[in-house]
Each structure stands twice: as C-alpha cells, then as structure tokens.
Amino acid sequence: MATASVATHDTAHDHHDHEHHDNFVTKYIFTTDHKMIGKQFLITGIFWALIGGLLSILFRLQLGFPDMNLEWLRPLLGGWITETGQLDQTFYLALVTMHGTIMVFFVLTAGLSGTFSNFLIPLQIGARDMASGFMNMLSYWFFFISSVIMFISLFIKTGPAGGGWVVYPPLSALEQAIPGSGLGMTLWLIAMTFFIASSLLGGINYITTVINLRTKGMSFSRLPLTIWAFFLTAVIGLLSFPVLFAAALLLVFDRSFGTSFYLSDIYIGGEALPNTGGSPVLYQHLFWFLGHPEVYIVLLPALGITSEVIATNSRKPIFGYKAMIISMLGITILSFIVWAHHMFVSGMNPFLGSIFMFLTLIIAIPSAVKVFNYLTTLWRGNLIFTPAMLFSIGLVSFFISGGLTGIFLGNSAIDIQLHDTYFVVAHFHLVMGSASFFGMVAGIYHWFPKMFGRMMDARLGYVHFWLTFVGVYMVFFPMHYIGIAGFPRRYYSWTGFEFSNMYTDLNMFVSVAAIITFAAQFIFLFNFFYSMYRGRKASQNPWRSNTLEWTTPIHPGHGNWPGEIPTVYRWPYDYSKPGAKEDFIPQTVPLSATPESNLPHEQELVKLELEIMKEESEALVANEAKES
Amino acid sequence: MEKELKYVDLVEQPISMHPKKFALWLFMVTVVMIFAALTSAYIVRQAEGNWLEYDLPEIFWVTSGIVLLSSVFLHWAYISAKKDNLLQLRIGMSIAVLLGIAFLVGQWYSWVALVDRQVFFVGNPSGSFLYVFTGLHGLHLISGVIFLIIVLISSFRYKVHSQSMDTMEMATTYWHFLGGLWIYLFMFLLLNH
C-alpha cells in the first residue's frame, strides 16, 4: 500500500510540474524519466557500436590484406602505423581487446539492457516510472563517466588495454608485459569499476520495479516475455557483476600495490619478480564466474524482445509461454555453474572438466526449447514481415547455427583442438554477438514509434536487414574452417606459418564481407536519425500489439499515462483468438467485454472479474462522497 | 490530484514492499556476492599450497564483541523508536555509532598486530587476503556509520518516530547485516586458517 501511494504522489507532482518546469537540462540531460534515460543509453550504445565496429574493420584490414599499405590511415592512427605502412603489432592487440570490451559491455550490455529495460519495464508493467528515478539517472551517468574514461584510453600514448577483453594476468598485471598493460589497463579498470556500479544501480532498479510496481492485474503469469527476460537479466547481473568487481579489485592490488594474488615466480629479462604465491588460474575462475553469466546478460534481453516481436507479427500467441519462462529460469540458474568450460585447457582437474562439460551441455535443453517455441510460433502464423520481424527471425537463425557449434566447444576433449581458435570466434560471434545485435536492432525498429512518435522507413529496413544478415554469415561462417584448421585467435599475422598460409584468400573474403556489413549499418543510422525528425507519423498502436505501452499517448509525458494507470485483465498474447472481432485483444480489455471469444475457463473468471469491478466502483463512489 | 490519489490507494499490489527497502536488500545481495567471491578465492588459493600460516590477531574477538553489542543497542533504539520513546532512541543510536567507530579503530589495531607479526599487505596472498577482507568490510562499515549518523541527526529533528520508521528500519537492517557479515568473515577465517 505504501508503494502505491508513494508512486501516486510522485505522479501527481509530475503532472503539475512538467508543463512549465522542464528545461533543457532536466529534460534531456539530468532527466529522471525512464524513457529519456533509455534513449540516452540507446544513443550512447549506438556511438559505441560504431567505434567497436570501426576497430574491427581496422584489424580485419590487417588480417585480410597483410601486405596492404595503410599509410592512408595515418591521419586517424598516427604513430600506430609503422614506417613501412603496416599496422603496429601491439596496437593490433589493443584493437582486438577494445573491440571485445566495447561490444560486450558498452554495446550489448549497456546499450541493449540499458535501453530496453529502462524504456520498456515501466511501460509494459504499467508503472509511472522506475522505482527510483534518481538511481536510474545515476546509473546512466556512471555509464557515461565509464564511457568517457574508456574513450580517453583509446587516445593515450601507450595505447588502450591490450591483454584481450578478459584481461588475464600476468599479461594485464605487469606493465613491462606490453605497452597496453600500462596506463591503458589502469584506465580500463577504472572505467569497468564505474561500469559495474552503473549496471548494479540499473539492475537493482529493474528488479525492484518489476516486483513492486506492477499495475493491478499484472501478475507474473501475465507479464510479457520481454519483462521476464529483462528481470532475469537483472538478477544475473546483480549476482555476477560483484564477482567481477572482486576480481578487478585484486588485480588492481596486484598492479598498483605489489600484492601477489595472481602473480608468482615470473622472470623478466632474467630477473625474478618479487611476487610469489599467486595463482593466475584464480583470476580465470573469478572472471568467468561473471564472464559466462555475462553471455546471458547479453543474450536474454534479445530473446525477450524476439518473443514479443515474433508473437505480434505472427498474429499468434507465443507458443509455450510457460515453457519460455521456465527455460529462461533454467538458463539463469545454469549460467552460474558452467563457467569453467572456458578453462578446459587451463590445467584444471580433468574430472572437474567432465562435470562442467555435463552442466554445459544441459544448457542445450532450455535453448532448444526456446528455438522450438519460436519456430512453432511462426508455424502457420499470419506473418507480417516488418523489419523488426525479419531481424527477430534472423536472431533465431543465428541462435541455431551458433548454438550448434556450442555443443562441440562444450566438450572438454574436442575443446583441446578448438580452444582459442577462430572456431570459438565464429561460435560466439554468431550465437551471442550477432544474435544479440539482431535482437537489439529488432527492438529499435519495433519500439521506434513509441520512442519518437514516428515510423522508421521499412524499405531501408529491408535493405539493412538483407545486407546485414547475409553479411554476418559471410563473415563468420568461413571462420569455422579456419578454426578447425587450428588457427589461433588474436594473432597478428597469418603468413608466419605454413598451415595457415592457404587461408589468405578466405581471410580476404571475410574482411571484404565485414567491410560491406559495417557499411550497411550506415543505412540504419541514416534511417534512424532521419526518421526521428522526418519519419511518417506513427499511430498509437502501429503493430496492433497487445501490450500496455501501446495504450499510452503517442508522445507519453513523464508519468506515461495521463489519467489512471490501466488495469490488466489478460495475458499479453491474445492474438487471432477464435471468435474475436479483431486479431488482437489488448491486455486492458476485460474478459467480460469479449464474451464471443472467451474460453470456457475464462467465462468462469468473468464472474469474479465483474464482482471485483463492482466492489471497486462502490469503493470509489464512497470515497468521492466522503470527499465532497 | 486528490481524487487520483484516493483511487490509486485502492489498487492492490500483488506483492509489494517499500521500494527503497527492497533496493537495500538487493544492494546487500551484491555485497554478499563480493565477499562470497573473495572468500571462495581464498579457499581455492589456499588449496594450491605455498600458504603462509600465522595466528589471527586476538583483537578480532574484541571487535566481534563490539560489533555485536552495537547491533544490540541499535535494536534497542529501533524498538524504542517504535514505541515513540525518543530519548532511548537517541541514547541507543549514539552508543551504536560510538561502538561502530570503536569497531573500526579495533580493526585498525588488528592491522597493527598483523604488521607486528611480519604479515604485510604485500607478500604471501594468505596475509593479503586478510587485509582485503578487513579493509573492504571496513569500507562498508564506514558507509554504515555514516548512514547511522544521518538517521541519528534526523532523530534529533524529531523525524524518526513510530509513524516514520522507514529510514530507521533500513539503517537497522543494514547495520545488522554488516555485523553479521563480519561474524561470517571471522568464523570463516577461524575455520580456514
């Protein structure tokens, strides 16, 4: 009860204030409105995606065209181009590291989860705003500080961190190791600390909001699958990010204070370092305890968005709603007990490896359930191929093709051959990178009308989709072959070894495909910014969808609904219900209003529903009478 | 405005807690995870051998007693606030704050004791871990003391009483949690030494 009245108080306040008190700063910069914060995360995420993509193009140039003269990049890269016109070798490592860090954390965690959890949770559960608007604002600004620090680290003289996005010690712990382990690594650690704080503030807010601020009738069994996904993502983040913090803290002590948590018996130039008694494998355990759940932090929101988009555009209820929830719960729990499959070749106990292999392969079950449910939702649906729908189907495709290779990699014996080869790169770029990216893009196309009140151009969307979809397969499919042949990831050059010489053509092909795919993203960028100002004006419910966000005005103010928050009477997937007049029934339509389409058990619920509504209106009348 | 307020008051929330209290619980979950990670790292590292053995500072027994006692006084203050006994509330809270500071001082002397035993922050991880445990817990405890002081000040402004217990409840929860966390760490160290 306390919650409800607090929420109302805020709203009433907002209604009076936002007409004349919102200036530029409180509306666009230090805003506490979840919708604007979501957009801030989105714009920052897009910025980082461009940087991250550009870095990958730079190192793809080196991999595909090792003899190319890169003198023309000197204006951008300066001293990182050597005198012979080649890419500097340590800078190559920094590029790979920063590409990974940026894409995993800044784009697919903050850009995806930050955007859509913020934007959609209050709108879809029927809340005025997040539980704490201030904490939400703080979450964005911590992310912003983190972004600034990480961005600055790209430009320092010794270059950004270069030890791989996993920053394993001792490479990352010793300044003497590579130039990137100096100031670049320090900035990396500071930036990640702010990032962790931002994620935790956001996550605490998402969980609190979903549990405490749902509108009347919005039981957990009526939540859209998007909200389930965001909720579980936040739970995973809440449990795993503190562990990364612990790992990073010990690394900071090793780097700056001379402790030996991860360092032991290291000789540099024949001289022994004073550190003894540390264990680098300890870092790997701590890191992957975050690192593996992080995969699902990245993936689950995309899967949630896909569930919503596919059900809406198939005009069919999602197949197996409960199975979807249970499999997401399963993934959440399993994600915490499989981390050591990243460490099969780290020298850990092979018996332990078998246990982790077994647990890892179990994840195939909930994943397969989800894929099955997507396909059966599509099966014989009245498919409407909006760009969002295409990207969602694309996600399912990547999830299958990338997921299958996960079964190989999860085997501790096969992993001996495949570990740290391009096979791994192909696997996770398909199943986690591209799939999540497609989920994010699908979400943008789908909710753009709600964000900006205008539609994105569908034809440009189709061009964007086909170029990206084909492009992604062109880039990552050949990598499987290179990986099976045994070529390790993160290597600067292919020409140094006999066995990999023959792959130069394939690499050239991959690089060209990568450049085309990257270029195709500018179609999206143009579409995004052009449509924001010049796009066709959106109607209130352009996709004829059931969820609550489409009951708000086209340009919702701070507080989302001008009047009362609507009550929810049904689950969000009543599409094409037999007997119904339209092929969708929004969640706000009472069962008593649709006697023609109610199922027998729902007819029973109608009586209960009418009773509750009667009681409520009596109470309301009594209250009004008391007041006057 | 009034009408709307009344209407929404009628709405029943399926499960609901005070959002800030709930957020505090979630924050404590993250703290638990940090220390769970560190203590399991301790066990993993210890199992690998090359582990310096030394006696824990005896002062830990004293500081553990202090932190428990401060929790007792804070709880007494909490119950007094519920009964609108503002004098007892202020006395109880003040003692709890003082004991909290005494705990921090005691933890500092545990470091002095460690240095006396030639166990330094830089050196064998067995000693470094102890500094990290106590240091990180101490940082959290400082945040707890600050929280208590804020509530103590508002209690002098008559803002804490039986009708306005939210911040007091949160401060009490957090303080008990921090005390419990220290007892866990101490027990852990006693058992895994």
Residues near A626 by beta carbon (within 8 Å), at least 6 away in sequence? none
A18 touches chain B (CB under 8 A): no
Of A617 and A338, the one with more pLDDT = A338
Spell out the domains of chain B, with CATH numbers in brackets. 20-46+60-191 (1.20.120.80)
3-state secondary structure A352-389: HHHHHHHHHHHCHHHHHHHHHHHHHHHCCCCCCCCHHH
What is the chain A residue with the closest CA to B39?
Answer: A246
Contact of A620 with chain B, judged by CB distance below 8 Å, is answered with yes
Query: Hey, is A234 helix, strand or coil?
Result: helix
Go through the domains of chain A in sequence order and give each one's CATH number. 1-30 (no CATH), 34-264 (1.20.210.10), 569-627 (no CATH)
- Neighbour-count burial of B83, counting CB atoms closer than 10 A to its CB (0-12 exposed, 13-18 middle, 19+ buried): exposed
- H-run or E-run covering A272: strand A271-272
Q: Which amino acid is at A245?
A: F
Task: Determine, for residues B1 and A253 on separate chains, whether the beta-carbon distance falls below 8 Å.
Answer: no
The predicted structure's pLDDT at residue A605: 83
Q: Which residue of B has its CA nearest to A240?
A: B33
Report which of A45, A182, A55, A208 is spatially closest to residue A112, judged by C-alpha positions: A45
CA dihedral A85, A86, A89, A94 (to 10 degrees): 90
Rounded to 5 degrees, what are φ and ψ at B38? -65, -40
pLDDT at B69 over 70: yes
Using CA atoms, how far apart are residues A532 and A15, in angstroms rounded to an integer?
Answer: 26
Which runs of consecutive H residues, i.e. helices, occur in chain B? Answer: 2-10, 19-47, 59-82, 86-116, 125-156, 166-191
Contact predicate A566/B8, CB 8 Å: no
Model confidence at A15: pLDDT above 70: no
CB contact under 8 A, B30 and A242: yes
Query: Quick one: average pLDDT of B125-130?
Result: 92
pLDDT at site B8: 39
CA distance A272 to chain B (A): 15
Q: What is the pTM of this model?
A: 0.91
CB A6 to CB B44 under 8 A? no
Lowest-confidence range among A73-87, A523-537, B66-80? A73-87
* A533-544 mean pLDDT: 94
The A residues from 546 to 585 touching B (CB cutoff 8 Å) are: 563-565
User: How far does chain B reach from its first CA to its final CA, in angstroms?
Assistant: 63
ipTM summary value: 0.89
List CB contacts (< 8 A) between B17 and chain A: 3, 211-212
List, in sequence order, every residue forming a beta bridge with A575; answer none if it has no partner.
A584
Strand-pairing partners, residue B164, are: B161
Q: Do B4 and A1 touch (CB under 8 A)?
A: no
Nearest by CB to A243, which of B18, B23, B33? B33
Q: Is the pLDDT of residue B83 over 50?
A: yes
Statement: residue B2 has pLDDT above 60 = no
pLDDT confidence of residue B5: 39
Q: What is the pLDDT of residue A627?
A: 63
Structure confidence at residue A586 (pLDDT)? 94
Find the CB nearest B128 among A11, A219, A261: A261
Cα–chain center distance at A181: 28
* 3-class SS of residue A237: helix
Nearest CA-CA distance, residue B80 and chain A, Å: 23
Lowest mean pLDDT among A145-159, A167-181, B29-43, B69-83: A167-181
d(CA A78, CA A71): 9
Interface of A with B in 243-282 (CB under 8 A): 243, 245-247, 249-250, 253, 257-261, 264, 276-279, 282
> What is the model's pLDDT at position A618?
80
Quick one: average pLDDT of B92-96? 95
- The reply to whether A346 touches chain B by the CB within 8 Å rule is no
Confidence category of residue A5, pLDDT binned at 50, 70, 90:
very low
Look at B125 and A620 and tell me if their CB atoms are within 8 Å.
Answer: no
Q: Nearest C-alpha of chain B: how many angstroms from A268?
A: 19
The alpha-carbon radius of gyration of chain A (Å, integer) is: 26
CA atoms within 13 A on the CB side of A164: 16
The amino acid at B27? F
Which chain B residue has its CA at the smallest distance from A245's CA? B34
For residues A588 and A572, give the distance between their C-alpha atoms in angstroms, rounded to a whole number. 9
Kindly state the percentage of chain A with pLDDT values over 70. 96
Higher pLDDT, B134 or B4: B134
pLDDT at B164: 87
Q: Please report which confidence band the pLDDT of residue A276 belongs to, taking 50, 70 and 90 as the band edges.
A: confident
Subunit contact A243:B37, Cβ cutoff 8 A: yes
User: What DSSP string describes A499-548?
Assistant: HHHTTHHHHHHHHHHHHHHHHHHHHHHHHHHHHHHHSPBP-SSTT---SG
Would the pLDDT of B4 be above 50?
A: no
Nearest CB to B26; choose among A8, A16, A208: A208
Flag if B41 and A250 touch (Cβ within 8 Å): yes
Interface contact flag, B19 A212, Cβ < 8 Å: yes
Hey, are the CB atoms on A247 and B37 less than 8 Å from each other? yes
* Option in B27, B51, B136 nearest A204 (CB): B27
Contact between chains at A261 and B34 (C-beta distance less than 8 A): no
Average pLDDT over residues A176-205: 94
Q: What tens digit of pLDDT does each residue of A428-444 get?
A: 999 999 999 999 999 99
Cβ atoms of residues A148 and A475 within 8 Å: no
pLDDT in tens, A495-519: 777 777 788 899 999 999 999 999 9
pLDDT at A61 over 60: yes
Q: Tell which A residues from 183 to 212 touch B, by Cβ distance under 8 Å.
A: 200, 203-205, 207-209, 211-212
What is the C-alpha to C-alpha distance for residues A558 and A540, in angstroms, rounded to an integer?
Answer: 17
pLDDT number for residue A628 = 58
B123 contacts on A by Cβ (under 8 Å): 259-260
Label residue A246 by pLDDT band (50, 70, 90): very high
Instruction: Give the best residue of B30, B133, B166 to mutate against chain A (max A CB count within 10 A).
Output: B30
pLDDT, residue B15, reads: 54
Whether residues B10 and A616 touch (CB distance < 8 A) is answered with yes
Upper half-sphere CA count for residue A421 (Cβ side, 13 Å): 22
